[in-house]
Amino acid sequence: MSTYRRREFLKLIPAAAAPSVLGQTKRRPNIIVFVTDDHGIGDVGCYGHPEVKTPNLDRLAASGVRFTQWYANAPICSASRAAIMTGKYPDRAGVKGALPSEPTWDVPGLRAGEATLPHMLKDLGYKTAAFGKWHLGSAPPSRPMNQGFEDFFGWYSGWLDAYSHRYYQLGSAPGKIFHDLWRNETEVFEEPGYMTEVLGREAGAWLGKQTSGQPFFMYVAFGAPHYSMMAPKKYLDRFPVTMDRDRRTHLAMVAAVDDAIGGVLDQLKRQGLEDDTIVYFQADNGATREVRASSDGKPYHGGSNEPYRGYKQGLFDGGMHVPAMLRAPGVVKPGTVWNRPMISMDLLPTLVAMADPGGKPVTGIDGQNILPVLNGGAPNHEFLFWSYNNSRSVRQGDWKLILNPTQFPGDPVPDKVWLSNLEADPGEKRNLAGEEPTRVKQLMDKLRAWELDVKIPAAQ
């Protein structure tokens, strides 16, 4: 083990000796999972970006562990969320890329009978509810209420207009626009409510019905700061008018999300549930470069993945190296910073282990329970893998190989094979493939074996 890794393990060891507040009660802990959309690691204040105003996310991080190398399982929304729900690589879960959005409500996504996180927690006696963006299938078997959630308020599509709550695809024939907001299986109309605030209201109302005698799992998936890029004046006013227009709007949308999360955290405390509740937050992928998010018809620059290279839809770290934090009173030591790789598919087995201490570990998945790792144990993942269209990536230790890197405006990548040492070069600026041919071959062999394992075509 390197000196660096020993140092990181030692930081976490005191957490193992901390008294377990959650463990002192006989009831199972409550669980809240927050997910944001197209939210870069440079869009959260506690990751070293002082122009960002996220006091509630910052206090959440300070009350638990802040992950500095947390990866989404994909640089795109549906696949990323599938890993959270199933604990599997998205390709194995059968959800690849971004699912289409259709007014016919027949898009297949998560499979019928999939062993999802809400299913597992429901089997343990939890009340379950989902709020916000689903995007894991609109066909009946794939919908939230057939995937383990008892209550749902949100939408099936990839995004919504923040005020009209309609999905629209314009600019190519035939185009489409349709309303997409549901309470359970009933369409509801809330316009012109600002969706981030509506989600905060709905999550708070459901939380208000929960009591200390019944554990619950609440999944809150914000549509922000994904387009449509809209924010009420009260959030825009928190940032100087001299700030770049797209950056100002982006950070105002993030501030609205932060307020909504803060409202839930404050409500937990008022209801006396704070010490009995695990709270987790992550973004589904990095900030985007898509023109349709911009105000000027140019590649979008409002979100930040700094200091990492790349964006959503790419396998440089900017696409899936995301902000993430976990508060588990008495289980995770407050103020912890974890600086080695973790990945979204690890969330399911970790939360199930905390919900059912002493129970059997979840089998048939790719994720691992990270609590033993946080307390000094060795991780199970020697290799981490990603796929997106014809791009592939694998990480082993500090080495990361990308096959067919995505091209973004202003950042051409002439090489089909890119090798980086992330500890020496976290921005992936220098390609070491020519200097490390043996390592490239070893990692390529691992990638090919993984493609076979998850049953996807070999990238060319």
Q: Which 3-state string (H, E, C) describes 14-63?
A: HHHHCCCCHHHCCCCCEEEEEEECCCCHHHCHHHCCCCCCCHHHHHHHHC
pLDDT at 2 over 70: no
* Confidence category of residue 241, pLDDT binned at 50, 70, 90: very high
pLDDT of residue 21: 53
Rounded to an integer, what distance in angstroms lies between the CA atom of residue 267 and that of residue 57?
A: 15
Mind listing the pLDDT tens digit for each residue in 56-100? 999 999 999 999 999 999 999 999 999 999 999 999 999 999 999
* Confidence category of residue 166, pLDDT binned at 50, 70, 90: very high
pTM, to two decimals: 0.94
Position with higher pLDDT, 137 vs 5:
137
State which H helix or E strand residue 283 sits in.
Answer: strand 277-283
pLDDT of residue 268: 98
Rounded to an integer, what distance in angstroms lies between the CA atom of residue 401 and that of residue 328?
A: 34
pLDDT of residue 6: 37
pLDDT of residue 171: 72
pLDDT of residue 55: 98
pLDDT of residue 22: 63
Of the listed ranges 12-16, 175-179, 400-404, the one predicted with least confidence: 12-16
**Pairing assessment for the beta strands 399-403 and 417-421 based on DSSP bridges:** antiparallel
pLDDT at 415 over 50: yes
**Count of CA atoms in the C-beta half-sphere (13 A) of 308:** 32
Rounded mean pLDDT of the chain?
94
* C-alpha torsion sign, points 284, 117, 345, 9: positive
Q: What is the mean pLDDT of residues 371-390?
A: 93
* Confidence category of residue 25, pLDDT binned at 50, 70, 90: low
Mind listing the pLDDT tens digit for each residue in 297-342? 999 999 999 999 999 999 999 999 999 999 999 999 999 999 999 9
**Pairing assessment for the beta strands 65-71 and 342-343 based on DSSP bridges:** parallel
pLDDT at 155 over 70: yes
* Confidence category of residue 236, pLDDT binned at 50, 70, 90: very high
pLDDT at 5 over 80: no
Please answer whether residues 251 and 63 qualify as being in contact, where contact means their C-beta atoms are separated by less than 8 angstroms: no
Position with higher pLDDT, 19 vs 435:
435
Amino acid at 366: D
Architecture per CATH, domain 3-374, reads as 3-Layer(aba) Sandwich (3.40)
Ordered alpha helix ranges (H), 319-378: 347-355, 371-374
Q: What is the mean pLDDT of residues 382-396?
A: 98
Mind listing the pLDDT tens digit for each residue in 242-296? 999 999 999 999 999 999 999 999 999 999 999 999 999 999 999 999 999 999 9
Residue 403 burial (CB < 10 Å; 0-12/13-18/19+)?
buried
Domain ranges in the chain are: 3-374, 383-454
Give the DSSP letter of residue 272. T
The Cα-based distances of 59 to 37, 137, 186, 196 in angstroms read 20, 34, 36, 20
**383-454 belongs to which CATH class?**
alpha beta
pLDDT of residue 403: 98
pLDDT at 7 over 70: no
pLDDT at 20 over 50: no
Ordered alpha helix ranges (H), 220-315: 233-236, 245-270
pLDDT at 394 over 90: yes
